[in-house]
Copies of this chain bind each other. A is one copy, B any other.
C-alpha cells in the first residue's frame, strides 16, 4: 500500500488548534517526549503535532483533520510497547489517549466494565476488585500500560494459561475510524451473531484500522481461597519443557506457569536480590488459585519432581512472582539486549529449548530465556555488544529462533505485536494471500493510509 503524505502546513496546524484549543501541542520537547515507546525504533525527523485527547470527540476531530490533510497518525496510550507501534511519524500527528482515563461503570451483575482507553490496566483491575471481580489480562506492564494499548496489541501476560488473552476479555468497543466516524462494535451479551465480528478485528490491529477510545470488558469473580505459589528447579531445560507440557496436559491447572533460565535468574538476583536460588538450568515458577490451591500446587510440583526437578517449594507468599516480574527491568538494566517474543504449541517446548541451545552454540552467542511457559510464549534474549555489528549479529540469532518457532507450528509474536520493528518479517509467517487480505481490509477502512502506515500488517 502506498500513500503520499505531506507535512501539515502552519495554516493547517492553526486550523487544528481552532478545533481543539490547548489539546493541540506544538512544543518540540513535549512532542518528542510523546514520540517514543520502549523499543529502540526511532525514525529520522520529528512529529509535527501532538493532540492530547480528552474525549472521543477530540479523537474524531483530530482524525478527520488528518484524513483531510493526509497526515500520518501514531496513536499512543502509555507508550510502553516494545515494537515501535506508537512511535511518531516525521511530520505526523501523535494522538495521546491518556486523557481518556475514566472507568464509566462497573456492572457487577453482568461482570462487565465500561472503560475509556487511557485507563491504566491495574487501575481497572483494582476498581473491579472492590466488587469481588478482577480484570483477567495482566501483561507484565499492567501497572504502567493502558487498557486501550493492551487491546490494540491484544496483550498477553502471565495469566493467559488460565484466562486467555486480552481479546477474550473484550465484549464491545468504541472506535474512531480514519475519517473521524465513531462506531460501536460488539455487545453486552455472551452470545451475539449479528454481522461480522468487528470487535475481534480491531483487537490487536495495532492502530491500523481505527482508534479504540473505549471498551466494554469482561470481568471474572476473584477465586475463593488463598493463592499459592510454587517453584521447581531443573538441571536440564529440556526436562523443564517436558514437565510444562505434562502440567498443561494434566488435571491440575495453574493460573500462572513461568520459566526463568539460570542466566535470567542470575541477572535478576544481581539487579535486586529476591532470594531465588540460581538453578542449574531453569526454574519453573507458578501460581494456583481457588479453594484447592494448595492441593493443586502440590500436584503440579509432584509432576515437576517426576521430571527430575529439585528444590521444590510451595508458598503463600507472592515473592516468587515478584522475582519473575523483575525479569524485564533487570534485563533492561543490562544495557543493550536483543529479545523476541516467539510462541510455540506447548507440546513443542522441549523441542524449542533444544533448538535454541543449538542456535546459541552455532552463533557462539549466549541466549537467555524468560517464558510464559504455560502458554508456550518465550522471550529469548541474545547478548550483544553495544555496537551496530553486535546488534546485527544478535538479530541474526533472533531470526533463527523465529524461524525455529514458526517451523514448530508457532508464531513470531505471541504478545508484543509487529509494530514497526518486526514489520519487514511478516512474510516469514504469513502468506502473500493473507497479507493481501489484511492490506485490502486496511485499504477499505483507511483509504488514505493515515493510521499507523507501514506497521503491523
- Which chain B residues border A416 with CB–CB below 8 Å? 193
Whether A438 pairs with B189 at a CB distance below 8 angstroms is no
**Mask of A405-433 contacts with B, CB within 8 angstroms, 1/0:** 00001111111111000000010011101
> Can you pick out 6 interface pairs between chain A and chain B where the beta carbons lie within 8 Å of each other?
A110-B346, A188-B345, A189-B343, A189-B377, A197-B205, A198-B438
C-alpha gap A251/B222 in the complex (Å): 9
Whether A195 pairs with B456 at a CB distance below 8 angstroms is yes
Whether B190 pairs with A161 at a CB distance below 8 angstroms is yes
Within 8 A of B (CB), among A370-415: 372, 375-377, 409-415
Name the segment of A32-40, A178-186, A259-267 touching the other chain.
Answer: A178-186
> In the complex, what's the smallest C-beta–C-beta distance from A409 to chain B, in angstroms?
4
Name the segment of A63-71, A152-160, A274-282, A356-364 touching the other chain.
Answer: A152-160
Copies in the complex: 2
Residues of A within 8 A of B (CB): 107-112, 153-154, 156, 160-161, 164-165, 167-168, 177, 181-185, 187-198, 200-201, 203-205, 208-209, 221, 224, 245, 249, 251, 343-347, 372, 375-377, 409-418, 426, 429-431, 433-435, 437-438, 440-441, 443-445, 456-457
A153: nearest residue on chain B (CB-CB)? Answer: B193
Whether A434 pairs with B184 at a CB distance below 8 angstroms is yes
C-alpha gap A411/B188 in the complex (Å): 8
Selected from B187, B191, B430, B445, the residue in CB contact (under 8 A) with A437 is B445
Whether B109 pairs with A415 at a CB distance below 8 angstroms is no
- Which chain B residues border A375 with CB–CB below 8 Å? 189-191
Whether A195 pairs with B426 at a CB distance below 8 angstroms is yes
A348: nearest residue on chain B (CB-CB)? Answer: B110
- Which chain B residues border A204 with CB–CB below 8 Å? 193, 196-197
Selected from B164, B165, B189, B193, the residue in CB contact (under 8 A) with A376 is B189
C-alpha gap A167/B376 in the complex (Å): 21
Whether B445 pairs with A344 at a CB distance below 8 angstroms is no
Whether B434 pairs with A183 at a CB distance below 8 angstroms is yes
C-alpha gap A137/B204 in the complex (Å): 25
Selected from B164, B251, B411, the residue in CB contact (under 8 A) with A194 is B411
Whether A201 pairs with B196 at a CB distance below 8 angstroms is yes
- Which chain B residues border A440 with CB–CB below 8 Å? 444-445
